[in-house]
Amino acid sequence: MNNPQKQKDQQQQQKGQGKKPRTAITPTREEDFAEWYQQVVKAADMAETSPTRGCMIVKPYGWAIWEKSQEIFDKWLKDYGVQNCSFPLLIPMSFFSREAEHVDGFAKECAVVTHHRLESDGKGGLQPAQEAKLEEPYVVRPTSETIIGDAMSRWIQSYRDLPMQLNQWSQVLRWEMRTRLFLRTAEFFWHEGHNAFEDHEGADNDCRHVMGLYEKFFTEYLAFDGFVGVKTPEETFPGANRTYAFEAMMQDGKALQAATTHDLGTTFAKTFDIKYQGKDEQEHLCHTTSWAFSTRTIGGLIMMHGDDDGMMMPPRIAPHQIIILPVIKDDNEDAVMAFCQKLQGDLKAKGIRAHLDKRDMRTPDKMWDAVKKGVPLRVEIGGREVENNQLTHVRRDIGRDSKTTVGVDEFLGQAEGILDAIHDSMLARQRKFRDDNTHDMTSVQEIDDFFKANKIGFARVPVSLLEDSSLEKVMGEYSLSCRNMPLSDKGKKVLISKAY
């Protein structure tokens, strides 16, 4: 005998087969990864382009991530002995001219200030006043090695002044032609450390220690891992003897350089006369270092953790770790809001960043907003939950399958553990993706075949392969670059991939 309901269910299933599931973000990652990225930034309300060419306006939700990053990392730097300071945004042109190799590396990216006053152009507009032309132009800071080196030459006299460990939280300007929010903008925000030591050992230890801090920060707070290694000579920072880099893999298989530390040797010490009198009463050149990470790590967060519904925030860096959504009806508004406010207070007392969404909006719209912003844990409270002293919570990294209703006291005891579980799950998933898409190869032909087939990920090859003359053509054809030589491979292998 035919079952009418069963036939109806089968018809509905067949009708739905092949139908694209609805997502909050269009296009999806698979359809157009670059445009998907831009749409996630917009949907999560993190940043927007500005009237200033190539620059961005970082909105409060995006800036909160950077603020939290500063809060965490600044404490670690101070514990290490680093002191914060501030140097001018404008650097005399002559400073760059004194360090030829360094300026060659940045010459095409420098913005230059040539006048100090404007005047009317006679047509209702403004123009630089000709009589206000500067005797010496200024470069808008692309990095601060030169001006800090000049200061160190005055501040360091004796071995007693060493090590000198300085850091500034600032912004820099590099005239990028092709920009993308967070990832590559003309103006971006970073911290830059500049240290001086008695010898190479002190400088190298500094580079390794700070890189260790970066690795700790990325894994313990941003829930992503990568490869720590040394840059090849061609990819080394201009003027440095050695550059250590943290290379992370995005979901499209491209690399993102998340942080670098540079052993500058005595390059800048020679140029800027950074010397000290040693215990032997002889004059010696200092060994200097520099290191940084920037707001491009926020772009990395999106490309590593986001999905087709928007951003997915790692709990320990998320502006809101928990969002509370009151489900309001006309007859229960006061009771529900009071219940939600008490829960928010109890969570904050435990050190959890809990946000109560009080906006006059439909609950489904609030829910989707939280999803697109990637809030790690969503809590929903309506009249039934209030009556039973319960709440319903949903994990962003799992979705509806994690929907759970529990008592409030039980939740308060579990909340920190749930957030930790979300972090661990996100980190494990990212590490698996990295490992699954890192491919060992031994020949140029393997590299060619891999990228010709539009496969994604890193090629890990013997360093000796860089001497093969046929490699350069393949690198150029697929826009590949050497990322680093992982320390875990003891410098015997190098990672090759497409990159941001």
pLDDT given at position 9: 43
pLDDT given at position 183: 96
Low-confidence ranges of the chain (pLDDT < 70): 1-20
Task: List CB contacts of 269: < 8 A, sequence separation 6 or more.
Answer: 149, 196, 275, 285, 286, 287, 288
How many Å apart are CA 371 and CA 313, to the nearest integer?
10
**Would you call 262 helix, strand, or coil by DSSP?**
strand
How many Å apart are CA 121 and CA 142, to the nearest integer?
31
Distances (CA, A) of 358 to 190, 239, 400, 441: 34, 53, 23, 55
Residue 361, φ and ψ in degrees, nearest 5: -140, 160
**Would you call 186 helix, strand, or coil by DSSP?**
coil
How many Å apart are CA 495 and CA 436, to the nearest integer?
14
How many Å apart are CA 364 and CA 309, to the nearest integer?
14
Nearest by Cα to 100 from 286, 239, 241, 235: 239
Token match 């749930």: residue? 418
How many Å apart are CA 297 and CA 418, to the nearest integer?
25
Indicate where the chain has its CATH 3.40.50.800 domain(s): 322-425
H-helix segments, 44-175: 60-80, 93-97, 100-106, 145-155
Beta bridge partners of 209: none
How many Å apart are CA 141 and CA 179, to the nearest integer?
18
pLDDT given at position 4: 44
**Would you call 309 helix, strand, or coil by DSSP?**
coil
**Would you call 428 helix, strand, or coil by DSSP?**
helix
Q: What is the pTM of this model?
A: 0.93
How many Å apart are CA 426 and CA 374, to the nearest integer?
12
User: Beta-carbon neighbour count of residue 464 at 10 Å?
Assistant: 11
User: Beta-carbon neighbour count of residue 351 at 10 Å?
Assistant: 8
How many Å apart are CA 313 and CA 64, to the nearest integer?
12
Strands 283-285 and 275-277: antiparallel
Instruction: Please state, rounded to an integer, the average pLDDT across all residues of the chain.
Output: 95
Q: What is the edge-to-edge ordering of all strands in the sheet holding 90-92? A: 90-92, 133-140, 112-115
Indicate where the chain has its CATH 3.30.930.10 domain(s): 47-106+143-305
Nearest by Cα to 350 from 382, 321, 371, 325: 321
Residue type, 288: T
11: which DSSP letter? H
User: Beta-carbon neighbour count of residue 416 at 10 Å?
Assistant: 15
pLDDT given at position 13: 45
CATH architecture of 438-497: 2-Layer Sandwich (3.30)
How many Å apart are CA 335 and CA 356, to the nearest integer?
15
CB 294 within 8 A of CB 268: no
Indicate where the chain has its CATH 3.30.110 domain(s): 438-497
How many Å apart are CA 69 and CA 292, to the nearest integer?
13
How many Å apart are CA 495 and CA 438, to the nearest integer?
9
- Look up residue 478 and give its two tokens: 């697929």
The verdict on whether omega for the bond into residue 27 sits within 30 degrees of 0, i.e. cis, is yes
pLDDT given at position 2: 47
Fold classification of 47-106+143-305 is BirA Bifunctional Protein; domain 2 (3.30.930)
Domain 322-425 has CATH 3.40.50.800: yes
Find the helix or strand (DSSP H, E) in which 356 lies: strand 354-356
pLDDT given at position 20: 66
